[in-house]
Structure 1
Amino acid sequence: MIVALGSNMPGDHPSSEALLNAAVSRFPQAGLPVLARSRWWNSAAWPDPKSNEYRNGVAIVEANGPPEAVLEALFAIERSFGRIRGAPNAPRTLDLDLIAYGRQARDGPGLILPHPRAHERLFVMGPLAEIAPDWVHPVLGRTAAELAATTTVGRDARPVSKEE
């Protein structure tokens, strides 16, 4: 299972990166052991680049249960970090998106798999290509590496350097 993480408001943490590290550490407690995690990436806020810059990353986690239960576990983690779901694309403390659940493809109320826009976003496909370049999109049939090279949103995304 693939989860994308993002933050541009650190909440009670010294930085968004610290908040994301704390969020990942909660995954195992939620029954989602982390198998791999990308580096954190920076990207300008979208659609308003004047908002705080985002930190993003991707984790591959193990899940035992239906995707709806996993999504609810992710929402519970978001809430524990002060996330209040409101306007789409608004600044947020923590955003956890279920990108893919195995090879499942579905378009149901409340849950679309794979995530309908992840393949367009470098801040998702770049980190995914870093840890699983050969992962194949269940609908498009293209690898994470191929998709990262053709994204159209967040083209400024880049891995965080040691100096940042």
Structure 2
Amino acid sequence: MALGGNLAGDFASCEALLEAALARFPRAGLGVVARSSWWRSAAWPDPSAPEYRNGIALVEADQGPAAVLQALLAIETDLGRTRSAKNAPRTLDLDLIAYGRQVIDTPGLVLPHPRAHERRFVMGPLAELLPGWRHPVLGRTAVELAAEAPVGRDAEPVR
């Protein structure tokens, strides 16, 4: 799972909001096995918007990918996510990046996530957590994809 956002909403910080989202995973049937550190990056495509925080969580689920996606959307809503224009600033964005090695292309669910490999703010945290993870379609590792990702080149761990 990828977690991100650049508006804290009712929380003290974006990191606090992301931590609150992670804390809700178990109640949604998503057991957090491991997680990356939080990463920072300039907003994209509008760098004048607030800076983003992103991270990755490796989870175990006893439900299929469509149900996992619905659980993520419910957590977003519960924590104040409202959808406006595409790529607009947001409180919380939870994305299902991959589900094992499954390749799915249906209305409403595409796996692996169709743009994750282009985003350093996703591939960087994934490479930190699982450097040898291989993209199910491209066959490239998380480390290779993070090094080549064209979007979010400034992404780095929060220190």
TM-score, length of structure 2 as denominator length = 0.98
Gaps (5+ residues) in structure 2? none
**What one-letter code is carried by the residue in structure 2 that aligns with 1:52?**
P
CA positional deviation for 1:80: 0.8
Quick one: distance in 2 between partners of 1:86 and 1:62? 31
CA positional deviation for 1:21: 0.8
1:60-90 CA-to-partner distances (Å, cap 9, x unmatched) read 0001111110000000000011001221111
Match in the other structure for 2:114: 116
Matched, 1:78 2:76: yes
Quick one: distance in 1 between partners of 2:31 and 2:52? 24
TM-score, length of structure 1 as denominator length = 0.95
1:113-133 CA-to-partner distances (Å, cap 9, x unmatched) read 000000010000000000100
Partner SS state of residue 144, structure 2: helix
Match in the other structure for 1:102: 100
Match in the other structure for 1:10: 8
**What one-letter code is carried by the residue in structure 2 that aligns with 1:112?**
V
Q: How many residues align?
A: 159
Quick one: distance in 2 between partners of 1:105 and 1:99? 11
CA positional deviation for 1:46: 0.7
Partner SS state of residue 43, structure 2: coil
Matched, 1:20 2:7: no
1:120-156 CA-to-partner distances (Å, cap 9, x unmatched) read 1000000000010011100000111111111100000
Quick one: distance in 1 between partners of 2:5 and 2:119? 15
Quick one: distance in 1 between partners of 2:74 and 2:92? 11
Q: Identity over the aligned pairs, expressed in percent?
A: 70
RMSD (Å), alpha carbons: 0.6
Gaps (5+ residues) in structure 1? none
Quick one: distance in 2 between partners of 1:81 and 1:47? 24
